[in-house]
Amino acid sequence: DAGVIQSPRHEVTEMGQEVTLRCKPISGHNSLFWYRQTMMRGLELLIYFNNNVPIDDSGMPEDRFSAKMPNASFSTLKIQPSEPRDSAVYFCASSQTRGIEAFFGQGTRLTVV
Amino acid sequence: DQQVKQNSPSLSVQEGRISILNCDYTNSMFDYFLWYKKYPAEGPTFLISISSIKDKNEDGRFTVFLNKSAKHLSLHIVPSQPGDSAVYFCAASAFGGQNFVFGPGTRLSVLP
């Protein structure tokens, strides 16, 4: 298994542009998580899905952020419009069941200039 | 307001000795705890977990201790190896939820 696959690995964009981060979870996993890591706030859960349905999006910072999971093998996190303070490493993770560890992707390093 | 705290940003230990990483939490509803290890430019990888019904869980060189009354858990690595050098995150969830709250991490350096 290739693990959780995120793309792109690095993204540099200008303020005001739309950014879309992509994630392919591990096949058979029914939970998918989006995290953001910054120096100031550490690793924060933004949103998670169970069986493609968003369960908790209370960590999404504001309406500029949106996440979708159209099927069991793909999810996107979109920021529109992007701002410099969105610069961070964004991780996607997937897991099989509650309480079992989540497997993280390698992350997407986003820089908004 | 940090619900999960790791008060030591960094720790250095000699190879072969014990590494003890600490984690404190404030939410008494937390009932499941995980430790993750993270190398640079990689995502965190799961290390070990513990449920609040236990006070100790062991997996090879790694042991996690939970003290519910003190709202404190610790990760012991014995013996420490240079390959253990990484950032270690403590994470907690409540009521069987999957929305884990992570601590800020502790950077462990194991010196040869």
Nearest CA to A76 out of A25, A10, A14, A15 is that of: A25
Confidence of residue A98 (pLDDT cuts 50, 70, 90): low
**pLDDT under 50: residue ranges of chain B:** none
> Cβ–Cβ of B43/A101 closer than 8 Å?
no
**pLDDT tens-digit map of B53-77:** 999 999 999 999 999 999 999 999 9
Name the residue facing B42 among A43, A44, A106 (closest C-beta): A106
Q: Which amino acid is at B28?
A: S
CA angle centred on A60, ends A18 and B101, rounded to 5°: 135
Most B CBs within 10 A among A101, A104, A106, hence the mutation to make, goes to: A101
DSSP A50-68: ETTEEEE-TT--STTEEEE
Confidence of residue A99 (pLDDT cuts 50, 70, 90): low
Name the residue facing A48 among B41, B89, B98 (closest C-beta): B98
**pLDDT tens-digit map of A38-89:** 988 889 999 999 999 999 999 998 899 999 999 999 999 999 999 999 999 9
